[in-house]
Amino acid sequence: MESKRRGVILRGGAVCLGLMLGLAAAEFGLRVYLKTPSSPVPINAIRSDPVAHMSWVANYDGWHRVGPLLTRFRTNSFGLRDDETTLKKPDGVYRILVVGDSYTQGQGVEQHEIFSHVVEEEMVSPEGFKRTEIIQCGVSAWGPDEEIAWIEDRGLAFEPDLVILAFYTGNDYLDASMPNPYWIHRGMRLMVWDEARMNPLWEIRIWLRKNVFLWGFTLDAIRSFRKAGPYRGAEDVGMLGQAIRREPESAMENIEPLFERLAELASESGTDAAILVLPWYLEVDDEYAEYVGRIQEIEVSTVDLDIFGRVAIEAAEKAGLEVFDARPALRAACEEGQRIHIGVDPHYNATGHRVVGEWLAKELQQRHQKVEP
């Protein structure tokens, strides 16, 4: 009896040892192959911020992986995913700040592919200026409130001639309407959400994301399996639901004071300000919207998907802000059969950024004809 028990223990120990060695080998292999933990945001580049609650570490040089996509992630001395610059604007330079969330930051694409860089490449400087400089100030999970707080506290110190606030219609209404804007998004905002930091379970989850490659890889694999195929699921259903319930209209009262504050800051600092409307997938891809509608048994032609961009434009115009609406350009690209999203989530791919960048360069070029040095 004793020998049988000892045999069971030995076999169990051998199985556990084999499992541990297998997991260790898998972890080692993933560390060599992935280079960085897989995460919805560049988790090792995040720091808590007293103004925006979250921003990038200065002078960071690493990698960001979203599922199968691996991109180089570098920040300058100001903690921006952009080339190095100076706080004081050089003589003869027309400077534009583009402030926004992960769509402005360029999640899933290389730095040189971000639409702000495309604009800088494509456009000719206004008459009387030697060159145009565009500073890209995007941070994952920022909402309009954080963006405007950052503009007021730090952005205007760059002496911009024009500040462009990129408003992503997919979640910026939600970001602006939450009582506490630092809402839980896939567990990542918990790093900087004070109440959540008190929860040791979430602290453990964040630690696992940052330090155990196998953990993030497994979560992403499950996520990819659940979202296999062109249909991404819950996000798109939620978008249709928001349109049916006309939630953007109810959020108007939340974004209006934010846009008004941006207009006040621009007036006080002697700069110009504008809103760039960046649309959700369903707003610009009619074929895909109909596909989601069929799955949900909803007649999409009866749903006012245009409400997302329209409400943002109305709020911006009411505040006296200029408006750049990227929806027509992206809609035209989708109608031509171009794929504008990275696939694993709705963020724009290099093609989407190129479309926005080339279109915005033309819009700014027309505007610059009226600019005096």
CA dist., res. 227 & res. 258, Å (int) = 35
- The answer to whether the beta carbons of residues 133 and 117 sit under 8 Å apart is no
Based on the number of CB atoms within 10 Å of its own CB, is 323 exposed (0-12), middle (13-18) or buried (19 or more)?
A: middle
Where exactly are the structural domains of the chain?
A: 1-34, 36-368
State the pLDDT at residue 184: 36
Q: Which pLDDT score is estimated for 35?
A: 67
Q: How long, in residues, is the chain?
A: 373
Single-letter code of the amino acid located at 135 = I
CATH H superfamily, domain 36-368: SGNH hydrolase (3.40.50.1110)
**Each residue's pLDDT tens digit in the chain (373 positions)?**
666 666 667 777 777 877 888 778 876 776 777 666 766 678 788 888 888 888 999 999 988 877 678 889 999 999 999 999 999 999 999 999 999 999 999 999 999 999 999 999 998 888 889 999 999 999 998 989 899 999 999 999 999 999 999 999 988 887 776 544 333 333 333 334 444 444 566 567 767 777 777 777 777 666 655 554 444 566 777 788 888 888 888 888 889 999 999 999 999 999 999 999 999 888 999 888 888 888 888 888 899 999 999 999 999 999 999 999 999 999 999 999 999 998 777 899 999 999 999 999 999 988 876 655 5
- Residue 211: its pLDDT value, please? 77
For position 51, what pLDDT does the model report?
86
Q: Does residue 281 contact residue 168 with C-beta atoms inside 8 Å?
A: no
Report the pLDDT value the prediction gives residue 196, as an integer from 0 to 100: 43
The CA distance from 236 to 243, in Å, is 11
Contacts of 310 (CB under 8 A, 6+ apart): 248
Q: Cα–Cα distance between 13 and 1 in angstroms, integer?
A: 18
CA–CA dist 60, 82 (Å, integer): 11
Q: To the nearest 5 percent, what fractions of the chain are helix, strand and coil?
A: 55, 15, 35
| Alpha helices (runs of H) in the chain, residue ranges in sequence order | 2-34, 102-105, 115-122, 144-153, 172-177, 194-197, 200-211, 213-226, 234-244, 247-269, 281-284, 286-296, 307-318, 327-335, 350-368
Question: pTM here?
Answer: 0.84
> Which residues on neighbouring strands pair with residue 136, listed in sequence order?
98
Nearest to 176 by CA among 103, 261, 234, 244: 261
| Residue 91: exposure state from Cβ atoms within 10 A (0-12, 13-18, ≥19) | exposed
Identify whether the C-beta of residue 339 lies closer than 8 Å to the C-beta of residue 349: yes
Number of helices (H), then strands (E), in the chain: 15, 9
